[in-house]
């Protein structure tokens, strides 16, 4: 049952990265592709009806982690106190920027919130990437299972490399999404940007994979076929973008990200917070879960709820899809 709980958490976080990932990515590419005030407005409006629902995946994942693995929730959140609060502030800033930009018809007002939108989103991706990097590498844990290292240890080269990879990969994801949602001359610029980001993503993917193998040591199992999926998705992304099959490109980009997160989850399993040095224990899904009765109850309510959420989210997204119109 702990394994199912692990899968549920991994699924929710993957959903968060795929969905809010394009919101963050749109913010990251906007300064590169949108040149006028109206284009920047279009860029922000492209995620307007979705970003809030997308962000709920993170909040709900936090709640689910609390219910399913209270020990890990407590140890991780208090151990990484400062970085986590900074993430919260950035999430707040991004939300404020999106909500407030449209309320005042002044270029200065717009420029300020556009800058906040960009900066908070890029920093968020970077921090999420650094966090994932540290989880893959393992973190120093004290005897009670609380983080025992220091803040600057979290900014190690490996974690920063994962962070940069995250920024570039989600920027591409955001660009692929933006093509689906906007019209006008900016679309051509976004298309060109996708083909330019693609080689950077490939190079960083190879670099991160090599670095991960170097950090964790090399060991093969059947699960190592995941990179094949990753590479196929990457190839499909380029193929669909060049041929103007925009939906296909978005699906390929989503598959690419999902395969990376699957890889990360498989690497970490069965640990939620692996210890440093790697493969020397940590907080595993078996230590962190509550009694079977509580776990069964939490799993039931969360899974049933998620099925309902997915059904109506898909229904609404279909109704709301398509290009937005920015009027004067």
Partner 1 sequence: MDVVIADRLQFAFTIMFHYLFPITTIGLAPFVALYTIQAARGDADAARAAAFWTRIFAINFAVGVVTGIPMEFQFGTNWAAFSAASGSVIGQPLAMEGVYAFFLESVFLGVLLAGKDRVPSWLYSTSAVAVWFGSWLSGFFIVATDAWMQHPVGYTIVGNRIELTSLPAVLLSPFAWWQYLHVVCGAMVAGSFVVAGVGAYYLLSKRETVIAQRFVKVGVIVALIFAVLVVFPTGDKNGDEVTKYQPIKLAAMEGLFNSTKDAPLAIIGMPDTHTDDLIDPIYVPDLLSFLAYGNFRAGVKGLSAYATELWPPVDLTYYAYHVMVGLGTIFMGIATLAALFLWRKRLFDTPLVLWLLMLVMPFPYIASEAGWVTSEVGRQPWIIYGLMRTASGVSPTVASGEAVFTLIGFAGMYFLLGFLFLYLTLREIGHGPV
**Residue 45 vs 192, nearer CB to partner 1:** 45
Q: Which is nearer to partner 1, 157 or 322 (CB)?
A: 322
User: What's the DSSP call for residue 273?
Assistant: E
Nearest-approach distance from CB 105 to partner 1, in angstroms: 12
Could you count the other beta carbons within 10 Å of the beta carbon of residue 247? 12
Per CB under 8 A, the list member of 63, 227, 248, 278 interacting with partner 1 is 63
Closer residue to partner 1 in complex, CB, 67/264:
67
Window 27-56: contact mask with partner 1 (x via CB under 8 A): ------------------x--xxx-xx-xx
Q: Which of 7, 32, 38, 77 binds partner 1 (CB under 8 A)?
A: 77
Minimum distance, C-beta of residue 55 to partner 1, in the bound complex (Å): 8
105, 107, 322, 327: residue in contact with partner 1 (rule CB under 8 A): 322
Contacting residues for 106 by C-beta, under 8 A, at least 6 apart: none
Number of residues that bind partner 1 (CB under 8 A): 61
Helical packing angle, 185-216 and 2-33, nearest 10°: 140
Rounded CA separation 111/64 (Å): 37
Collect all residues with Cβ–Cβ distance below 8 Å to 47 and sequence separation of at least 6.
22, 23, 26, 54, 98, 177, 181
Q: How far is Cα 169 from Cα 166, in angstroms, rounded to an integer?
A: 5
Output 180 or 231, the one with its CB closest to partner 1. Answer: 180
DSSP state string for 203-242: HHHHHHHHHHHHHH-----GGGGHHHHHHHHHHHHHHHHH
By the rule CB under 8 A, 70 interacts with partner 1: yes
Interacting span for partner 1 (CB under 8 A) from 87-95, 119-127, 174-182, 261-269: 87-95
Query: Residue 34: what are its φ and ψ, rounded to 5°?
Result: -100, 120
The single residue among 35, 99, 213, 214 that binds partner 1, judged by CB under 8 A, is 99
Asked whether position 115 contacts partner 1 by CB under 8 A, the answer is no
The structure tokens listed for 67 are 């219910």
Q: Is 100 in the site for partner 1 (CB under 8 A)?
A: yes
In the bound complex, what is the minimum distance in angstroms from residue 182's beta carbon to partner 1? Answer: 14
Tell me which residue of 212, 218, 174 sits closest to 193, measured CA to CA: 174
CB 23 → partner 1: shortest distance, Å?
12
Contact 147, 141 (CB under 8 A): yes
From candidates 18, 19, 76, 211, binder to partner 1 by CB under 8 A? 76
Q: Kind and range of the H or E element at 289?
A: none
Task: Give the three-state DSSP class for 300.
Answer: helix
The 294-313 site mask, x for binding partner 1 (CB under 8 A), equals: xx-xx--xx--xx-xx--xx
Tell me how far CA of residue 290 lies from CA of 2, 6, 71, 257, in angstroms: 9, 13, 8, 31
Which residues are near partner 1 by CB under 8 A?
45, 48-50, 52-53, 55-56, 59-60, 62-64, 66-71, 73-79, 81-82, 84-85, 88-89, 91-92, 95-96, 99-100, 103, 144, 146-147, 290-291, 293-295, 297-298, 301-302, 305-306, 308-309, 312-313, 316, 319-320, 322
């Amino acid at each position: 049952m702990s394994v199912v709980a692990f899968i549920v958490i991994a699924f929710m976080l993957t959903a968060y990265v795929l969905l809010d990932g394009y919101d963050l990515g749109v913010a990251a590419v906007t300064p590169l592709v949108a040149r006028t005030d109206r284009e920047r407005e279009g860029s922000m409006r492209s995620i307007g009806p979705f970003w809030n629902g997308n962000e709920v995946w993170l909040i709900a994942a936090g709640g689910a982690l609390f219910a399913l693995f209270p020990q890990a929730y407590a140890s991780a959140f208090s151990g990484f106190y400062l970085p986590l609060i900074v993430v919260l502030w950035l999430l707040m800033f991004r939300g404020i920027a999106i909500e407030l930009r449209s309320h005042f018809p002044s270029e200065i007002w717009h420029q300020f919130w556009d800058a906040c939108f960009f900066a908070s989103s890029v920093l968020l991706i970077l921090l999420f990437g650094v966090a994932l990097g540290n989880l893959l590498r393992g973190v120093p844990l004290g005897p009670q299972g609380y983080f025992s290292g220091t803040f600057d240890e979290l900014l190690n080269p490996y974690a920063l490399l994962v962070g940069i990879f995250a920024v570039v990969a989600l920027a591409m994801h955001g660009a692929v999404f933006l093509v689906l949602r906007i019209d006008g001359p900016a679309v051509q610029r976004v298309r060109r940007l996708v083909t330019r980001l693609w080689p950077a993503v490939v190079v960083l993917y190879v670099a991160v994979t090599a670095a991960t193998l170097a950090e964790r040591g090399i060991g093969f199992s059947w699960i190592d076929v995941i990179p094949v999926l990753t590479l196929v998705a990457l190839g499909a992304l380029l193929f669909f973008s060049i041929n103007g099959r925009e939906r296909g490109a978005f699906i390929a980009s989503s598959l690419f990200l999902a395969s990376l997160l699957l890889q990360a989850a498989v690497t970490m399993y069965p640990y939620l917070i692996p210890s440093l040095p790697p493969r020397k224990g940590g907080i595993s899904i078996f230590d962190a879960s509550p009694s079977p009765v509580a776990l069964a109850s939490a799993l039931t309510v969360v899974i049933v709820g998620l099925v309902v959420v997915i059904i109506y989210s898909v229904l609404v997204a279909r109704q709301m899809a398509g290009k937005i119109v920015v009027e004067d």
